[in-house]
Structure 1
Amino acid sequence: MRVFQLGLLSALALASVPAQADHHQEASSQQAEHLDAGRWVTLGTRAGPVTSATRSQPANLLVAGDQNILVDVGDGTAGQLAHLGIQTAGIDAVFISHLHWDHTGGLAAILGLRAQTNAPPRLKIYGPPGTAELVSGLLASMVPGATAGYGVPGAPRADIQQMTEVVELRDNASVELAGMTVTVRNNTHYSFAADSDLARRFESLSFRFDLPGRSIVYTGDTGPSAAVEDLAKGADLLVAEMMDVDDTIAMVRRNNPNMPPQVAAGMERHLREHHLLPKDVGELAARAKVGAVVVTHFAGREVGDPAHLEYLREIATNYDGPVVIADDLDVF
């Protein structure tokens, strides 16, 4: 676990996660002054669809005041939270950027474990159109387990339908929560024709979290996007997805040698058009004039491979501010 202070944030002594509290006793008063700046923890930093032995699927924790807020909730999120000393009952809200499984796969475990531990009802879940349908399906899948309960006849059962409150968000929506303003933009991770039924049904969202002490922009999954650039203008911290697309395509093909050609072509088109390359991250950060960049949703060569440094060089070609390729459980 690494705790970072980046660029414009260097004046802020950011509070560490609970697992490191004993190591920061001397700085506690200074940290308390800056809790309104929030803490961003990269719980999972691996881009889907290929799993990793060293990185969990995309998920983040935003600590805003006394609220623990998940921003995307990929597979493994509950276990990553446990590393921080946070149980699922301690989550106050969830934001979902889009409905791909690598960003939602951990939500079933969050909801099920909350049911088993008598967590407070009405977990607020914010997400794009289709989120209500997703959550409804997850709750329906929980009915058999809730009915069986702990196997004790006559024992009270959790009311599954009271567990969540879903708020669907679209482009330009705004939410007030935990002393901050959350602004939403529709990005380019989907490229449905503007007048199509699919465009009306689905959006892929980027979020800006304006806390009292700083602003954090999370791109979610997106290709180059004027809307995301506008959303990120002047932000203190840009948390951006980034993929080595050529490397990812080669890996998917190795793992799926029998993939039908039409499926493979669609996958490759999606990866090339709907994600950010290192140069795209640098250009976005420079045009938006952000204070620092954290790269997540990472698929590429890891530390120790010369290509890893090449990613940073490509970003730096256009952006001269601080940049970190995040690992799981890094704190910013």
Structure 2
Amino acid sequence: MPMIRTAPALLAALLVAAPASAQTAANASFVTLGTMGGPVPSATRSQPANLLLHGADAYLVDCGDGAVEQLAKAGVLLPQVRAVFLSHLHADHTGGLGAVLGLRNQTNVRDTLTVYGPPGTKALVDGIVASMEPAARAGYGIPGQPWAPPASTVTVVELGDAARLSVGGMTVTTAQNTHYDFAPGSAEDRAYKSLSLRFDLPGRSIVYTGDTGPSPAVERLAKDADLLVSEMIDVAGTMDVVRRTAPNLPEPARQQLLRHLTTHHLTPQDVAALAQRAGAKAVVITHFAAGADNPARTAGYLETIGRTYKGPVRIARDLDRF
């Protein structure tokens, strides 16, 4: 079972994990489809992907490799997915998008799917659409009966910092975070952004950090959120995985990776500070980038977070529902 540090009365109300099939039309819930921090694959956790269920509709929030399979395990059909939100364009968060688009096309889902994401999302989707063309023209091999033109099945809305839009009866707000450290206003900063997302639904607010380092903007976005879904990095544990899987990694590359892990992600101490400053009512930790579960190490994370943040905390597993 996932490890929990309880604030007993609050925990039962705020952090209820159950199969996604228990979703009711009256309630919004957040399903952690894939909880592994990429890009190294895991035998026990799928790549980063999440599902926001709101009534009968479903929204993918990041779409890592294996997302379609995880949707099936969660009991959600592709036609239920109304939109996809991408926090940033690293492959571990987008690798499953080709399957989502391709299988919708192959199964003749007629509704146009909207993909929301940072600058560069249109180029990403255009490339996926181009890769779908040969199969769509062939269809099921019946002469004169191709599938729908792939470009007609998807549309893209690119988002920047502090975007605010209404989607399916909820308000979605973005904040540019610190997963990248390009100079503000630079060409790189304009071209490449990593976003955190806030979903304000009737009676409930959910904030998804995506990948980020410590960020005052994310703290403001998460102010008084009912649920904060945060990434978390174990730098030492992740570097151990790297040493085992890439023993010949050149030292300059190792140093670059270490810089990335320590500045562009959140440690347990950082997660605690974010949740405390934001006044979040409950925290779910995902993007668990330390490899296989280790009960002693997990207990240490929760103890560290609990020194600063006194609310309920859960380290998610794939297909948990909150």
Using the size of structure 2 for normalisation, the TM-score is 0.93
Q: Deviations over 1:85-139 (max 9, x none)?
A: 2222221100000000000000000011101111123201100000000000000
Q: Structure 1 residues 18, 286: closer, same or farther in 2, change over 3 A?
A: closer
- Range with bigger deviation, 299-308 or 39-48: 299-308
The answer on 1:182 being equivalent to 2:172 is: yes
Q: Deviations over 1:270-321 (max 9, x none)?
A: 1111000001101111111110000000122655531110000011010010
Q: Deviations over 1:5-53 (max 9, x none)?
A: 98757457979656447xxxxxxxxx66x42xx1100000000121111
- The alpha carbon displacement at 1:148 in A equals 1.9
Match of 2:146 in 1: 156
SS of the residue corresponding to residue 184 of structure 2 reads coil
Residue 196 of structure 1, aligned match among 186, 194, 198: 186
Separation in 1, partners of 2:186, 2:13: 48
- The alpha carbon displacement at 1:179 in A equals 1.1
Residue 306 of structure 1, aligned match among 278, 296, 300: 296
Residue 125 of structure 1, aligned match among 115, 126, 137: 115
SS of the residue corresponding to residue 294 of structure 1 reads strand
- Range with bigger deviation, 181-190 or 151-160: 151-160
Residue 96 of structure 1, aligned match among 86, 96, 116: 86
Q: Deviations over 1:58-78 (max 9, x none)?
A: 000001122200000000000
The answer on 1:283 being equivalent to 2:304 is: no
Q: Deviations over 1:199-229 (max 9, x none)?
A: 1101100001011111000000000000000
Separation in 1, partners of 2:304, 2:14: 28
Separation in 2, partners of 1:74, 1:60: 9
Instruction: Output the amino acid matched with 1:199.
Output: D
Separation in 2, partners of 1:303, 1:257: 22
Match of 1:294 in 2: 284
Separation in 2, partners of 1:14, 1:219: 20
Separation in 1, partners of 2:210, 2:235: 16
Instruction: Output the amino acid matched with 1:310.
Output: G
Match of 2:98 in 1: 108
2:88–2:195: 8 Å Cα contact kept in structure 1? yes
SS of the residue corresponding to residue 161 of structure 2 reads coil
- Range with bigger deviation, 304-313 or 236-245: 304-313
Instruction: Output the amino acid matched with 2:199.
Output: F
The gaps in structure 1 that reach 5 residues or longer are 22-30
Instruction: Output the amino acid matched with 1:53.
Output: A
Separation in 2, partners of 1:260, 1:75: 27
Runs of 4+ in 1 over 3 A off after TM superposition: 4-21, 301-305
Q: Structure 1 residues 303, 263: closer, same or farther in 2, change over 3 A?
A: closer
Instruction: Output the amino acid matched with 1:243.
Output: I
Separation in 2, partners of 1:256, 1:302: 17
Match of 1:230 in 2: 220
- The alpha carbon displacement at 1:173 in A equals 0.3
Match of 1:27 in 2: none
1:47–1:298: 8 Å Cα contact kept in structure 2? yes
SS of the residue corresponding to residue 173 of structure 2 reads strand
2:42–2:291: 8 Å Cα contact kept in structure 1? no
Instruction: Output the amino acid matched with 1:229.
Output: E
Higher RCO (CA-CA < 8 Å; seq separation 6+)? 2
Match of 1:24 in 2: none
Separation in 2, partners of 1:311, 1:15: 20
1:206–1:217: 8 Å Cα contact kept in structure 2? yes
Instruction: Output the amino acid matched with 2:312.
Output: P
Residue 69 of structure 1, aligned match among 37, 59, 62: 59
Match of 1:206 in 2: 196
Match of 1:28 in 2: none
SS of the residue corresponding to residue 237 of structure 2 reads helix
Match of 2:126 in 1: 136
Work out the number of aligned pairs and report it: 319
- Sequence identity (%): 55
- Range with bigger deviation, 190-199 or 275-284: 190-199
2:49–2:67: 8 Å Cα contact kept in structure 1? yes
Instruction: Output the amino acid matched with 1:140.
Output: A
Instruction: Output the amino acid matched with 1:68.
Output: A
Separation in 2, partners of 1:226, 1:165: 32
SS of the residue corresponding to residue 92 of structure 1 reads strand
Separation in 2, partners of 1:13, 1:66: 21
Instruction: Output the amino acid matched with 1:261.
Output: E
The gaps in structure 2 that reach 5 residues or longer are none
Separation in 1, partners of 2:17, 2:295: 32
